[in-house]
């Protein structure tokens, strides 16, 4: 395990989430209007009805849910999906800000804690088996930090809220990439990710192939399907394959608009895994509203996983 990359994943996710909030739900045209020179700092955040709920430099539900997973591992000294489900429900009952509709529908069921996978399956079935939102891939970075059974754990934790195979496959792919970078300093080739994706759903491969494009525009991140799990997965992977630095990759993603906090969270975690905490600009780390809490979780989780 590379300790610098490990910390980079957690801070990268939170930074991408917080910076992406500045452009969340905007079209690229709106991003250019409100941020003519592009978003580069939390302090630039345009405050409207949606964004007024957060301070600049605070993260959203994406990182909150990731921390629910991390805290469960720290407490149990292992990954227990039931403990994660309990943490999700406790967090939900605290009226969190920014929670997605699909996740809300699952966590609102009365017997969620007792039967989380069944609850997720029920909500998915009620959607006509069409709901493939990005609410699971946004939190999966921490699964890649586990030292064993990453694929199994990524699938299990995804299915606590998202049953669609596209959601499961995208969570597995992102988690496996994080793990390879942190534990082996290996950037998995796209062909390997395609091989993984084929095990889950044929609709994953076309989005992985888009990652080869020299421009992020191919993903149309700001269109009406902005919350699609495969778009978010592909945006994160595009950044880690094409960027020369953490900042370059993250700014490309968040300035594309769309579901930018979630795209930024996934991209930030992957970029943190590739470049490490030490290569994240200090202004992004120091500007996080809950920096100290994240540091505590990062240190405690690393201690647990070192054994």
Entry pTM: 0.97
Q: Is-contact 240 274, C-beta < 8 A?
A: yes
Write out the two tokens for 94: 């605290």
Say how many Å lie between the first and final Cα of the chain, rounded.
12
pLDDT at 162: 98
Write out the two tokens for 125: 């079935």
pLDDT tens-digit series, residues 263-305:
999 999 999 999 999 999 999 999 999 999 999 999 999 999 9
Report the C-alpha gap between 94 and 257 in whole angstroms: 28
pLDDT at 97: 87
pLDDT at 261: 97
Report the C-alpha gap between 28 and 255 in whole angstroms: 7
pLDDT at 202: 97
Report the C-alpha gap between 273 and 281 in whole angstroms: 15
% residues pLDDT > 90 (the chain): 96
% residues pLDDT > 70 (the chain): 100
Q: Is-contact 267 236, C-beta < 8 A?
A: yes
Report the C-alpha gap between 198 and 206 in whole angstroms: 11
* Record: fold of 3-306: ADP-ribosylglycohydrolase fold (1.10.4080)
Q: Is-contact 250 271, C-beta < 8 A?
A: yes
Q: Is-contact 136 157, C-beta < 8 A?
A: yes
Residues of the chain below pLDDT 70: 307
Q: Tell me, letter by letter, the H, E, C secondary structure of 216-277.
A: HHHHCCCCCCCCEHHHHHHHHHHHHHHCCCHHHHHHHHHCCCECHHHHHHHHHHHHHHHHCH
Q: How many CB atoms are closer than 10 A to CB 126?
A: 11
pLDDT at 95: 85
Write out the two tokens for 46: 């345009």
pLDDT at 98: 86
Domain spans of the chain?
Answer: 3-306
């Amino acid at each position: 395990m590379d300790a610098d990359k490990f910390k980079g994943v957690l801070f990268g996710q939170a930074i991408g989430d917080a910076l992406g909030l500045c452009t969340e739900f905007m079209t690229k045209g709106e991003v250019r209007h409100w941020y003519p020179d592009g978003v580069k700092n939390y302090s630039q955040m345009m405050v409207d009805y949606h964004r007024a709920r957060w301070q600049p430099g605070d993260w959203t539900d994406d990182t909150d849910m990731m921390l629910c997973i991390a805290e469960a591992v720290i407490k149990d000294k292992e990954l227990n999906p039931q403990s994660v489900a309990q943490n999700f429900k406790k967090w939900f009952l605290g009226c969190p800000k920014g929670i997605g509709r699909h996740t809300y529908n699952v966590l609102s069921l009365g017997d969620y804690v007792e039967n989380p996978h069944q609850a997720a399956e029920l909500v998915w079935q009620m959607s006509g088996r069409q709901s493939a939102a990005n609410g699971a891939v946004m939190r999966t970075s921490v699964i890649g930090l586990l030292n064993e059974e990453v694929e199994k754990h990524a699938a299990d934790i995804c299915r606590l809220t998202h049953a669609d195979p596209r959601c499961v496959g995208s969570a597995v792919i992102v988690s496996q990439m994080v793990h390879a970078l942190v534990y082996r300093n290996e950037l998995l080739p796209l062909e390997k990710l395609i091989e993984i994706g084929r095990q889950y759903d044929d609709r994953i491969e076309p989005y992985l192939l888009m990652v080869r494009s020299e421009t992020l525009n191919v993903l149309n991140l700001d269109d009406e399907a902005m919350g699609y799990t495969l778009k978010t997965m592909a945006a994160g992977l595009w950044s880690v394959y094409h960027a020369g630095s953490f900042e370059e990759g993250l700014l490309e993603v968040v300035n594309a608009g769309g579901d930018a906090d979630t795209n930024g969270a996934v991209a930030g975690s992957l970029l943190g895994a590739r470049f490490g905490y030490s290569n994240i600009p200090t202004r992004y780390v120091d500007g996080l509203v809950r920096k100290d809490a994240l540091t505590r979780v990062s240190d405690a989780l690393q201690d647990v996983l070192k054994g």
